[in-house]
Amino acid sequence: MSIPHFRSADTPLSAQGVNSTTSAKVTLPHLQEKKRNGQPIAALTAYDYATARLVDESGIDLILVGDSLAMVVMGLDSTLAVTVEEMLHHTRAVRRAVRRAIVVADMPYGSYHSTVAEGVSNALRFVKEAGAEAVKIEGGRNRLELVERLVDAEIPVIGHLGLTPQSVHRMGGYAVQGKTLRAIEELMRDSVALEHAGATAVVLEGMPREVAQRITAELSIPTIGIGAGPDCDGQILVFHDLVNLSFSRPAKFVRQFGDAAALFRTAIEGYRNEVASRAYPGEAESYHLPREERLALEESEIEREAEIAGAKLAVIR
Ligand code: KIV
């Protein structure tokens, strides 16, 4: 059997034509290569077909269907309530849109917290039913058995350390983590342990730059930062934060690269005003009958009016 389309995972990105302006598929080994070459990884969340297409076509390397969708898409006040079914639904929509980027599904709270077996079977659903190429789980040394079992099951795992939103109650809110020597040591140990267990990359969220920089230097797998400073191997942001659609005060680390709220408001208000003034829809935005049918219709209306007039006359007489 010949396998002509298979590329070696060792073939350098550049030799495969993978850069942000081509359509060559990005794979997890490419992220590793980017780290080795000191090339930053650009990652972003997406939750639906339209935005996932835009994100993918813009040359983003990795798209996370984050459980942040609980807050930015569903309007909930934490990520805790979103379900596996809801995450699968959004992951499928993103999968349909994405050709180039790596699609990662976030395992929601409760989907891997009771038993390792349940975690594995939920992760399998993201791969088999929604086309995810990897899953992300929050936690460190408390998740090592799960990471190993997922890797055994051929499911690449991305870890998530620091400000882990699924631990909001334990943390007492969304506060920057890793601010004491002891906490820094815990984070270092967790990150090294995740790498040894087989994690493919680690998201570092909400921690001092100095800590993320040291973890990044220590690990050979890529770190992807959010609120963790510029020294990580890559960065990730929540799509809605990037384009001002979050309806909340942005965190210190958020940079709004566009204002979709202003763009959408202008469009929606324009529509409302033009419907109210009957300026929309116009003649050019209307469908028309073919000439013959229009003439036949007008003729039948004239005949009908004549019939009605005749009937009225008969009543009066
Ligand atoms: O759910 C999410 O969007 C995330 C990112 C913030 C990393 O976990």
pLDDT tens-place string over residues 57-79: 999 999 999 999 999 999 999 99
Listed in sequence order, the DSSP H helices in the chain are: 28-37, 49-57, 69-72, 84-97, 116-128, 144-152, 168-171, 181-197, 209-218, 239-242, 260-276, 291-316
Per the listing, tokens 């116009």 go with: 282
- Domain count for the chain: 2
3 state DSSP class of 290: coil
Kindly tell me if the per-residue pLDDT of 292 is higher than 60.
yes
| Domain stop point among 231, 255, 279 | 255
- On whether both 173 and 125 belong to a single domain, the answer is yes
Does the CB atom of residue 45 touch ligand 1 within 6 A? yes
**Judgement on whether residues 302 and 242 belong to the same structural domain of the protein:** no
CA of 18 to the centre of ligand 1 (A): 25
3-state secondary structure of 223: strand
pLDDT band at 313 (very low <50, low <70, confident <90, very high): confident
CA distance 8 to 16: 10
Q: What is the identity of the amino acid at 148?
A: E
Atom 4 (ligand 1) nearest CA: 66
Atom of ligand 1 nearest to the CA of 238: 3
Residues forming the active site: 205
45: CA distance to ligand 1 center in Å?
7
132 with 210, same domain: the answer is yes
pLDDT digits (tens, 9 = 90+) for 229-269: 999 999 999 999 999 999 999 999 999 999 999 999 999 99
- Residue 144, pLDDT > 60, answer yes
Q: What is the pLDDT of residue 23?
A: 74
The dihedral sign for the CA sequence 254, 257, 259, 261: negative
CB-ligand 1 contact for 70 (6 Å cutoff): no
Q: How many angstroms is it from 5 CA to the middle of ligand 1? A: 33
Asked if 175 contacts 195 with a C-beta cutoff of 8 angstroms, the reply is no
The CATH number linked to 83 is 3.20.20.60
Q: Is residue 260 part of a domain?
A: no
Q: Of 255, 271, 296, which residue sits at a domain end? A: 255
Mark whether 196 and 295 lie in a shared domain.
no
The pLDDT of residue 148 is 98
Please give the pLDDT value at position 314. 85
Which pLDDT score is estimated for 10? 47
Domain of 295, in residue numbers: 287-317
Radius of gyration from C-alpha coordinates of the chain: 27
Q: Taking Cα atoms as reference points, which of 259, 265, 245 lies closest to residue 72?
A: 245
300 has a pLDDT exceeding 80? yes
* 308 domain-assigned: yes
Question: Mean pLDDT across the stretch 287-291?
Answer: 97
Task: Give the residue, out of 63, 68, 78, with the most ligand 1 atoms within 8 A of its beta carbon, to mutate for a pocket test.
Answer: 68
Please give the model's pTM, rounded to 2 decimal places.
0.91
What phi and psi values does residue 197 have, to the nearest 5 degrees?
A: -75, -15
124 and 226 inside one domain: yes
- Which of 205, 240, 255 is a domain's end point? 255
Pocket lining: 66 vs ligand 1, CB cutoff 6 Å? yes
Q: In the numeric block, which tokens belong to residue 302?
A: 């004239």
